[in-house]
Chains A and B, each alone.
Chain A
């Protein structure tokens, strides 16, 4: 056995090399900074695009000040950004390369982050923002619609079946003995499909009996589908579960295959 020993202390030569490397690195950085294109071309187009809200918000804040709603502002020490924030637009455009531009994007932070915490005045400055964010969330869809699903144990009435070149008819034939099939979807090119039963027991039974099973020469893998719409019957309407399953499956059209022949129209004689 050979132990490679690495001393923890560096040799003199190593130290020298290290400092040299560091120096070079610094120089390279400086050179790059010098060569690098000025950031203006990137930023200038942004300036006119600055959201109108920022100016408006400023106005609102100003109104608040006037109305006496915010007295705290005079107590807060002036921060450098504030001056920059109030710089006229024209000037701002000229000086756009400086770091101040950032302040333009933070409508409310420039003036009043402090008094928000210091006194319990109404958060009027946030009025608009809080509406916006809340509304956005709301409009994106119903946030609460699928809660309570995560903490349930994995069970359900939809199974995932994979096997070489399985078809819808094949799945129906293979699984109909386990229970009433509500829905079948097949993705032939991916060699898998989903079968939804009206009862969970049917799904469970199908999994235990058919997993790794061989049906007409096709090796099957059967497991619980990952996405399981939880449907708890809330009434005894007969078709309730079926409709719920269909609604949850996101494919209302379902797996129906139109077997009609294509109608061919002969040459029109009414022209």
Chain B
């Protein structure tokens, strides 16, 4: 480091000042370098090539001092900004041409990165490292032969036996998705070996099971656009690329300009890299379906949307997905970056963006991010591009509505949620008249159902009169009723009801701010309508009826009033409803009062689960009960079921996490005490340190007893969870089997709307909660999904198990 200045000697103050500053100045240079590297390739007043050349010179000069720093920044950039892959490979290529050793070190570093990512199951990072290494072949940093060896090894991983298919899938996907970058080079230099690699992949794909495919499809039909399995689609795109002699037009390749410099450079050989063997704890990415809703005929004149099997489509989509991943927390940035897509003039960008966003929203088993992320980004896109984006979205909505007949039930829900949210941001304006043909259809048909559910959801985002005003008169049959409580004890003819007198007394007492005990007193005289001797005498349906309906009606003004009512009289609930039967009775009475207000029912059940007035299993049994059969295909009922399952899952997860933490603390405490026993001489020192760093742990050190109790609690919760899933799946099997058998004996087509909704809901439970259900997969297989089951039902289970197979 010779950054001495000529005047240094003549100013003592400066020297002292600089001494103090030296460390931070180094830091400053590092930051400066980092920022230069990070920003290369961004919009600039000079050409990318000249920027790269300049940056290479700057870095070369600094290699001596900041070697490791530069290595680290470059590898970070390669993985965190995969869209700039070719820019950084060019930079590395230029550096390698200037400094062969550095090139070698970089390759070593990158290889280590790839290996680490593979071991840590960071699949995307691994794929980006692989792609980077492959692109280094184009920059004459790595020899084509050694890369092919690496790709061969990866494809070999797909030939292993006794490992999950998702593992094999990933390795093949990683290789295939690298080929757009390096295919041409390999084709020119090692045609034979490349062909051999592709044949191996083809063989693998031919033998691959695709049971999961049906469960992941957004639409059951393949017209007009096939719903392809992701590997099949990529394979078709790669085959097309091969047909075109590996020429692709999308990837910018700055290294081409430096061909004369780069081809002089010496190449490195990759070391042998073997994929780490499979371990049961490894989680591989799940398969998915490539969502397509547009083709070039949907877009107006102008740049043409690349075909479904052109590699450009894959590259564009991957890039757009990456932008969403990068900015999903900031909707405005996300929208701006999407619209600033580098190749925007070559494609109908609005269409690509809308398709990619819907692809994420409809992704099965669940969207990557909260559904609202996509809705809000779409709104921002409309604001930034008001002349076209809203129109593309309107067109997309029409397309989705037309194809809704065969849409997956889970996606149907998401479509309802998105559309009502979007409408609420667009003054609830829509040309409903154009959809009036749906009024002639069976109300259970997906189209009228969609309109009805959208209106119900819009009701939550607005209010009844407004929904009524905005709809054409012809849609009256689909407009939801006014969300009001129906209090039977105040209705006409209530006098004949057995509980009316008590109900009126109860109203007076509660208004007079009575104590929970007094409520029990008022209810005391109500007779028990159940006469059998062997029934639980503590369960009196009439008491529950009068209490629940009266209390909830008094709290009907708002959610907060209802919550206050529930928490004040929590004691009464617990007294009246100990058994599951009694809890179902509470739910029935809540429904009786509030059946016109779906959102109220959802929040009340959520509240009662939270306050442990009712148990999850009671909710599940209530949903499948005869009383609710009229509501069975309505969206809100399934919203309730999913929130119930989620509540349970959260509970189990929390207990599991707490136990793990306690065990960790226990282990820590033990190893700490071991240490102090071992090192007698350093005893003082040790305890002193411990006092500082682990003080909190010390007195929180859990006893064996506590841990045992936590284990018991976790086990109990897991048993409850398992029980909940057993109830749900058993009920599904019962009603579906019954339907199938009855259709068979009556000689009717079993495939009714009801059947489609119900089997769709079963699929949804499996997919939405797949992580939890997975744990009980074998129990489910032995107890419920046995071979004698109707194949239609069994099929859903098999689709689910093949997701992680």
Contacts and interface: CB of A to CB of B under 8 A. Distances in A.
Contacts of A141: 336, 384
A89 to B, nearest CB: 6
A143 B379 CA distance: 19
A271 interface: yes
Contact of B426 (A69, A121, A139, A243): A243
A234 B388 contact: yes
Contacts of B398: 237-238
A56 B28 contact: yes
Interface string A70-104: 00000000000000001111110000000000000
A257 to B, nearest CB: 10
A242 B564 CA distance: 43
Given A89-B17, A130-B45, A135 B39 contact: yes
B57 A269 contact: no
Nearest to B41: A131
Contacts of A244: 386-388, 390-391
Given A88-B7, A88-B8, A243-B394, A230 B387 contact: yes
Interface stretch (B46-54, B206-214, B724-732): B46-54
A240 B395 contact: yes
A263 B55 CA distance: 67
B310 interface: no
B434 A238 contact: yes
Interface in B1-59: 3, 5-8, 11, 13-14, 17, 25, 28-29, 31-32, 35-36, 39-40, 42-46, 50-51, 53-55, 57-58
B54 A124 contact: yes
Contact of B14 (A89, A124, A269): A89
A247 B382 CA distance: 6
Contact of B11 (A67, A91, A135, A235): A91
B370 interface: no
B46 A126 contact: yes
A50 B463 CA distance: 57
A131 B44 CA distance: 5
Given A69-B54, A130-B46, A247-B382, A238 B391 contact: no
A76 B64 CA distance: 29
B54 A127 contact: yes
A248 B339 CA distance: 16
B397 A142 contact: no
Given A248-B386, A269-B554, A142 B339 contact: yes
A260 B463 contact: yes
A86 to B, nearest CB: 6
B158 to A, nearest CB: 42
Given A134-B44, A239-B394, A259 B465 contact: yes
A252 B426 contact: yes
Given A91-B14, A122-B54, A246 B336 contact: no
Contacts of A232: 387
Interface string B416-447: 00000000011101110110000000000000
Interface string A133-148: 1110111011001000
Contact of B427 (A52, A134, A246): A246
Given A131-B42, A247-B390, A252-B426, A64 B58 contact: yes
Contacts of A252: 379, 425-427
Contacts of A139: 336
Contacts of A142: 336, 339-340, 384
A247 B392 CA distance: 13
A240 B394 contact: yes
Given A86-B5, A122-B46, A270 B555 contact: yes
Contacts of B555: 270
A213 interface: no
Contacts of B13: 88, 90-91
A107 to B, nearest CB: 12
Interface in B706-725: none
A127 B387 contact: no
Contact of A134 (B3, B43, B567): B43
Select the residue from B35, B50, B391, B465 with max chain A CB neighbours within 10 A: B391
Nearest to B3: A62
Nearest to A52: B28
Interface string A180-200: 001100000000000000000
B224 interface: no
B58 A123 contact: no
Given A231-B387, A235-B391, A127 B51 contact: yes
A64 B62 CA distance: 10
A63 B62 contact: yes
Interface string B270-313: 00000000000000000000000000001010000000000000
B430 A239 contact: yes
B564 A270 contact: yes
A90 B5 CA distance: 14
Interface in A128-184: 128, 130-131, 133-135, 137-139, 141-142, 145, 182-183
B40 A64 contact: no
Contact of A243 (B393, B513, B558): B393
B383 interface: yes
A242 B385 contact: no
A130 B558 CA distance: 57
B55 A88 contact: no
Nearest to B563: A270
Contacts of A55: 25, 28
A271 B387 CA distance: 53
B672 interface: no
Given A56-B32, A237-B397, A246-B426, A86 B58 contact: no
A68 B57 CA distance: 8
B391 A240 contact: yes
Nearest to A93: B13
Contacts of A256: 427, 466
A141 B564 CA distance: 47
B513 A271 contact: yes
B432 to A, nearest CB: 9
B391 A241 contact: yes
A196 to B, nearest CB: 12
B190 interface: no
Interface string A105-131: 000000000000000011110111011
Nearest to B337: A138
B568 interface: yes
Contact of A122 (B28, B36, B50, B391): B50
Given A69-B57, A240-B390, A269 B11 contact: no
A229 B386 contact: yes
A49 interface: no
Interface in B533-570: 554-555, 557-558, 561, 564-565, 567-568
Nearest to B51: A127
A39 interface: no
B205 interface: no
Contacts of A5: none
Contacts of B298: 235
Given A142-B340, A268-B561, A268-B564, 14 more contacts: A56-B31, A60-B32, A86-B7, A91-B7, A123-B54, A124-B51, A124-B54, A127-B54, A239-B394, A239-B431, A240-B390, A241-B391, A265-B561, A271-B513
Interface of B: 3, 5-8, 11, 13-14, 17, 25, 28-29, 31-32, 35-36, 39-40, 42-46, 50-51, 53-55, 57-58, 60-62, 298, 300, 336, 339-340, 379, 382-395, 397-398, 425-427, 429-431, 433-434, 463, 465-466, 510-513, 554-555, 557-558, 561, 564-565, 567-568
11 contacts: A56-B28, A59-B3, A63-B62, A64-B61, A124-B57, A128-B35, A134-B44, A234-B300, A235-B395, A241-B391, A269-B510
Interface of A: 52, 55-56, 59-60, 62-64, 66-69, 86-91, 121-124, 126-128, 130-131, 133-135, 137-139, 141-142, 145, 182-183, 229-235, 237-244, 246-248, 250, 252-254, 256, 258-260, 263, 265, 268-271
